Chains A and B, each alone.
Chain A
């Protein structure tokens, strides 16, 4: 790196007290699964086993849904909104109080840099509960009629990229609206959800209001297809999202899906170039690129191409890849061997299809799953790496000449989750924002999230919104 070597500054993992094994959280208690199955959750930065976790089968899911139904019928449904609010506020506070523990655990189980889990994920988790807590006793003012009713039991399936934050996005609005939930965390990152179960206990949340069933795809399928579920909320791949949309056909289940993306990050020649480069870096390398709204297609105006690329490469050379628990790490570990394979495969295809691959020199650790930050130049809309979601730290660089061409290329995808615009010209931002078919448009910024701000996609990026007043709609009978 040069003369100013930052000595390792590791966050202590002693703050996390992991049990060797975890059961399912059903009816307010940790219970063993019916058939005793389990799987291991590993630290992707070291491949060390962190804990053994129960695998829920159909019978366990059924038990969890029944517990949720009972809690809905007897406790949570009839409970006045102001009391539900207080439970949610309690949870928000406990998340803040145990923030460091949650951040370290999240980085251990997911591989994301502690700087992000500490400064982004966990504060947003608390903020999300705090925000929706305030809605619980104000639903009649939310614009969904004079007496909006909850749906009942929500079956929720979340991904591994922001384990606890996705849990918050699902559970906070569901509970605020008066539903009870059965949530399945991703099989590679179940631990923070299990710690959240302990937080529910600590908050004295009535048993059965939140149930956590751990497992893989089959567990998720059993949950979303369960007859006792009134609402299905899923965040994950478009492929699974389509399966879910098919599986609920002909039922009365309400569904929201937050799926994949292939966002264009559009840089004009009058952009604030240093901030644009930061936005490009943040857009694709934040959370190792494991972000559905990642700015994975950089569209640069041809007249600014050389300047932007040179700045981008210089900036990328400063990225620090390594130990997620080191406070100075910018890019942590890829979440799993499987995901690493996918990133490698698609990157190799990019090179085979003739795009030029570049990564800054960087040493990757021997153990664990790692992928150097990578850009591909000379990419066209016809390249697979410009069309398929890679979900890794890999950026495809394309060019355009006019605003209309930028819009056309940006929209030329089955996805429509997010987009970025970088220009100092205000009227052009508004013109572009009107035409981009994406649920979130970041202008002169990127990858910003807030509990008050609705998030979700157009087209094959899914439907429904999470966050804000809009996020309540998914959990109300309207």
Chain B
């Protein structure tokens, strides 16, 4: 065996759409940390919405137990690739926190309906029950920092309840997002539940905000107030649910609370007479 230095096999960072890793249909890329990263176009956004919509029925129809197990599986897979994320330059603490966040949200899958729904004691002979349901397809602009924990903290609460997402990864830190896609792809998560686009938020986000088959937008990662306002205005056209960018920089390591889940839930109330 000679001492010849091995030539590394480099990774091509592609998009993650419908459970597959396509290049941008535009054929464009941009350079991040010496890697070429796919630069998503409006057509990629469109395709991602189609994939997300197609996944809604199966994912929202899966049992909460099943969704919880899959989220937990994501944590297991992430744990196994911990070093890979550290190798991207992410702090080990952040990676650990991100793993734990998947575990935390996994446990919510079969509890949120109990905490957030319930029986209503109406003044009449009726059974009356309110239960939360996923709103559908959510377009998410992920925060740029912390690259992995921020991303997990916006994706997990959206999907744990049965939504599917199209995530615009942070423009400057997309490698963690695409590496996370590799985790998701090997975690029994059905294709299309999480779709990740890399590229310019200002280019693709307006298409998602205006897309009439998107039910909600999470603007957490939008840092430009003007862009956030434009996106919110565009979202009004079909009355998307809007999660505005936070007023103050969030503490991503704090207890997340339930509001990221509830903001993307609908409440359905069912009435039925009680009689013989």
Contacts and interface: CB of A to CB of B under 8 A. Distances in A.
B121 interface: yes
Interface stretch (A163-171, A303-311, A371-379, A457-465): A457-465
Interface stretch (A62-70, A81-89, A90-98, A246-254): A246-254
Nearest to A438: B268
Given A448-B126, A450-B122, A452-B121, A439 B238 contact: no
Contact of A250 (B122, B225, B273): B225
Given A445-B271, A445-B273, A414 B238 contact: yes
A441 B270 contact: yes
Contacts of B272: 429, 443-445
A268 B6 CA distance: 71
A448 B271 contact: yes
A36 interface: no
B122 A245 contact: no
A465 B225 contact: no
A132 to B, nearest CB: 14
A241 interface: yes
A292 interface: no
A242 B237 contact: yes
A403 to B, nearest CB: 15
Size class of B's contact patch? Answer: 35 or more
A237 to B, nearest CB: 12
B238 A444 contact: no
Contacts of A249: 229-230, 232-233, 236
Interface in A424-478: 429, 433, 438-445, 448, 450, 452-456, 458-460, 462-463, 465, 468-470, 473, 478
B106 to A, nearest CB: 21
A58 B264 CA distance: 35
Chain B CB within 10 Å, residue with most, of A250, A433, A455, A469? A250
A459 to B, nearest CB: 7
Contacts of B122: 448, 450, 452-453
Contacts of B236: 242-243, 245-246, 249
Nearest to B216: A463
Contacts of A433: 268, 270
B235 interface: yes
A144 to B, nearest CB: 9
A242 B210 CA distance: 13
Given A250-B229, A460-B238, A470 B123 contact: no
Interface in A122-151: 127, 143, 145
B241 A440 contact: no
A54 to B, nearest CB: 31
B132 to A, nearest CB: 10
Nearest to A244: B236
B239 interface: yes
Contacts of B11: none
A439 B266 contact: yes
Interface string B118-145: 1011111010101000010000000000
Contact of A241 (B226, B232, B239, B241): B239
B239 A463 contact: yes
Contacts of A460: 238-239
Interface in A98-135: 127
Given A249-B229, A250-B228, A454 B120 contact: yes
Given A459-B215, A468-B130, A478-B259, A443 B268 contact: no
A392 to B, nearest CB: 23
A176 interface: no
A458 B244 CA distance: 19
A56 to B, nearest CB: 25
A93 to B, nearest CB: 17
Nearest to B233: A249
A291 interface: no
Contacts of A448: 122, 124, 126, 271
B271 A245 contact: no
A242 B271 contact: no
A458 B266 contact: yes
Contacts of A469: 118
A238 interface: yes
B219 to A, nearest CB: 10
A242 B239 contact: yes
Contact of A456 (B233, B267, B270): B267
Contacts of B225: 250
B269 interface: yes
A443 B120 contact: no
A469 B130 CA distance: 10
Contact of B115 (A143, A257, A445): A143
A146 to B, nearest CB: 11
Contacts of A145: 257
B247 interface: yes
Nearest to B247: A252
A470 B239 contact: no
A143 B112 CA distance: 12
A194 interface: no
Contacts of A445: 126, 271-273
Contacts of B126: 445, 448, 450
Interface of A: 127, 143, 145, 238, 241-243, 245-246, 248-250, 252, 257, 259, 414, 429, 433, 438-445, 448, 450, 452-456, 458-460, 462-463, 465, 468-470, 473, 478
Nearest 9 pairs of A and B residues by beta carbon: A250-B229, A245-B236, A249-B232, A450-B122, A249-B233, A452-B120, A246-B236, A443-B272, A453-B120
8 contacts: A243-B236, A245-B236, A249-B233, A250-B226, A252-B244, A450-B122, A453-B120, A454-B130
